[in-house]
Every structure is written in C-alpha cells, then in structure tokens.
Amino acid sequence: MKIKDISKVYCIGIKGAGMVALAQILLGRGIEVSGSDTKEVFYTDAILKRLKIPYYEDFSAKHIPLGADVVVYSMAYSVENNAEMDSAQKLGIPMLSYPEMLGMLFQEKLGLAVCGTHGKTTTSAMLAEVLAAAGLDPSAVVGSQVISWQGSALSGNGEYFVAEADEYQNKLQYYKPWSAILTSVDWDHPDFFPDFVAYKKVFVDFVKKISRTGHLVVWGDSSDTLEVSEGAGCSVVTYGFGQENEYQIVNHETQDMENGGLQKFEVLCGSDEESLGIFEIMLVGKHNALNAAAVIALCREMHVDMEKVKKALREFRGTTRRFEKVGMFGDAILMDDYAHHPDEIKATLSGARQYFAGKKIWTVFNPHTFTRTKALLSEFAQSFDDTDRVIVIDIYGSAREQQGGVSSDDLVKLINKYHPGRADYIPTIGEASEFLKGEAGHFDVLITMGAGDVWKVAEELKKS
C-alpha cells in the first residue's frame, strides 16, 4: 500500500496526540479522514473540530465508513478489545497501526527523527519550527499541541519530515530516518521493557538504520547515549555541557521570572571551539537548553542559516503541558507539566525553582501506570527536592492497567522518609482541588504534573 493509493481513512483512537497529528497530515494530502475515540475530553477535541474531522465518541462496528481504504488504529487497541477493529478485520479492510502509517509518510521524505526517553516533544517541535522559519517548509508530527501552531502537525511541501519517534512498544522499528536526534536513554515503560538492557536495545537497533549520508546528533554527557551511538553508520556528533562535546554549551545564564525568564547560552563547535554565537530561549530549565543545543547541532550539520536558527529559537513558545502557564488561582500562578518519569520531575522542578526564585512552590503529582511507579518507586520518592509540598493523587493506570501492587500512598510514605511532612496522599482530582481551595494563600505557584488528567486540578482552581 502507498499513500497515493489512499483516499479514505478511518482512525481508531483519533484523539491521541500523535493520531490527531497524523489525521491532519493525511487531510492535508486531500485524504478523507474520520474516526472514533472515547468520550473523555482532550485538547485534541478542539483541533479535530477546527479541522472539521468527524468522529464518534464510542466504538461500534457500524461506524466504519463504506469504502474505507485503510483503518489506522492506536496501539492501545486490538481486535480483542475493540469492536471496530474486529469488524474491519472481518470485512477485510487493511489495518495499520499508528506507527506503521507514520512510517509510510516518513519514508516519503528525508526523515528527521527525534527519539529518547525525555525531551522528544519539545525538541521535535523546536526543530520543525526552526526549519519552517528557515523557509524549508517541513512536515512534522509532534506528540503534543505546539502553541504557535494550535495543533500538533505541519503539512509542508518541503523535503524534510520531522517526527517525534516514540520507543514504547518498539514503535521505532517502523521508522527509517535520514537523520536523528537522541536526547537521552533512561529505563522507562517497564510494562513492555523488562529491564534496561531490553530498553536500550531498541535505540541501538534504531540508530543502525540511520542513512549513511545522514547524521546522528546525540547527548554527549551520558555514557548510555554514547554507547547507543556506537552502532550508527552515519556521521555522529555530540552536544551537551561537557567540554568533550562537538557542540558545547558555555556561559549559560538563567533569568528568573522577575527578570524576563530567558535562558542565554553560547555554543562552541569543534576542536577549534568556533563560537556559533549567543542563543536565547523562553523555555525554563537546563534540559531545554540541551534540547535547543540538539536542534542547533543538527541544523548546522544540515547547513541551515544560523541567524535564522537563533531568531526561531528566541521566538519558540513551546508546547502544551510542558511547563505551561494555564492560569491563576487568586495570586497563585498555575502551571502544568507532563513530567511522569523521575528524571523529568527533577529537571522540571529544578527549572521551576530557578524561574520562580523565592516563591513557595506546591506540586500535585499524578503517577502514570502501576508498572512504572512500582519499578521506579525509590527514584520517584527522591524527585521532589525542589518543591515545598507535594500532593500525590491516585495512580493513572490508563487503558493498559487497572492495578499493580503499588499505590500512591506507598509513594507518599517514601517521600516523607526523605522529606518528613512534605507529601500528602489525596486520592482524587476532586478531593485535591477542594483541599487546595482551602489552602489559598499558602502557595505562590502550583504545578500539576503527570501524563494523566491531573491538569483538571488547575482547571478547577481557575474557576474558583
């Protein structure tokens, strides 16, 4: 099957961030798109409505349109648990998973993959926006809404396709990139990868597929990313704060909120330490300086005008649910962040502590999946040094899990061993919201944090 042969697509799980981006790309190709999902409201509902893509909010065999050329499905569903997939199979309609369809689109152009445990969304959005600002008119699929796009996709006519390449369930096997950025490798998704060796192997296999004419840009401050990069047959360049990196961040400065909140840094390149100049970004945290350095490195390897890169990075506003200001609760600032891995929590809260210097920071954390919480319980418990108080609500098991031998109360007890009295277990979003309303004036900043629907706490407080 080739994209040019497709005129009608039905998407199961269409509200997913990646799926709605894919739908937007297909629509831009003149393909008729419709789909289905649950009734749960996501930010993607607004995108689908704006694009006038019809969708059902339940799953039924009768929904599949006549003449559908292909059914694209989220990997959360299967023939066993979804009536529409079962029906499509019986009707003989070709079915492709989301990564399989994305892989087909990716192969049509020069694919630029952004992979790694952390930072994929911000880095892929940043890269696509920089290439667009440089006049290269890329296509892109990003796993969250990019604020300046008001969507999660670009459907360009240029030769490059930027994709956020997710490792979960080894989706990386479906992509063959021309070039790639590898941001990090830390064990995650223990429900699929039994240990770090299995997890790391999907990245090892992936970088071997990069075109020999392309580039691998890899975070050079980590022994694990460097080990993964050894298997690449293409040009490999490193970036980071360490002096041994080909692209080294120096003279890094962070402003707090009162002084504008910019990060400024210089990037030195090569053994002769050529200065590429001073770069500025509006995003918070050293991890975002690293994300920007990855984009700078790849763009220079691709001979993109560095002055255009600087301007685009300075204007980049980020993506939703990545340290995003979502409103106010009285005088308190409400922030929302997707962090759901210990390293992400530490990076986000460290950035918050610098940005909100001198302010009292509270966090509402929603652990994501029982397997991850259980496997990394000790690491999670030691991730909250830079918040003054943390409220932990019940684990968000998602469609994958309903229970798993660990609880949020277990996490709270362990946090309090490291920081006595810092953590509270409040089971539900509603209860947490009501508790926080009663604590008005006791915090200056509230960060809702997690990959589930913890953002609803901030939405509830905004209404008060």
**With the C-alpha atoms ordered 358, 360, 366, 371, is the resulting torsion angle positive or negative?**
positive
Query: Which comes out higher in pLDDT, residue 134 or 271?
Result: 134
Q: What is the DSSP string of 32-46?
A: EEEEE--S---THHH
Which helix H or strand E contains 171, and what residues bound it?
A: none
Instruction: Identify the pLDDT of residue 359.
Output: 97
Residues 6+ apart with CB under 8 A from 443: 332, 360, 361, 362, 388, 389
What is the DSSP pairing of strand 263-269 with strand 247-254? antiparallel
pLDDT tens digits for range 220-245: 999 999 999 999 999 999 999 999 99
3-state secondary structure of 364: strand
pLDDT in tens, 114-155: 999 999 999 999 999 999 999 999 999 998 989 999 889 999
Count how many Cα atoms sit within 13 Å of the Cα of residue 161 in the half-sphere of its side chain. 21
Question: Between vectors from CA 253 to CA 337 and to CA 265, what angle results, nearest 5°?
Answer: 95
Q: What is the mean pLDDT of the chain?
A: 95
Q: What percent of the chain has pLDDT over 90?
A: 91
Condensed to tens digits (0 to 9), the pLDDT of residues 450-459 reads 998 999 999 9
Q: What is the mean pLDDT of residues 145-169?
A: 94
Residue of 343, 360, 365 lying closest to 409 (CA atoms)? 365
**Structure-token match 């953590």, residue found:** 423
Q: Which of 97, 75, 152, 87 is nearest to 398 (CA)?
A: 75
| Region 332-340 average pLDDT | 97
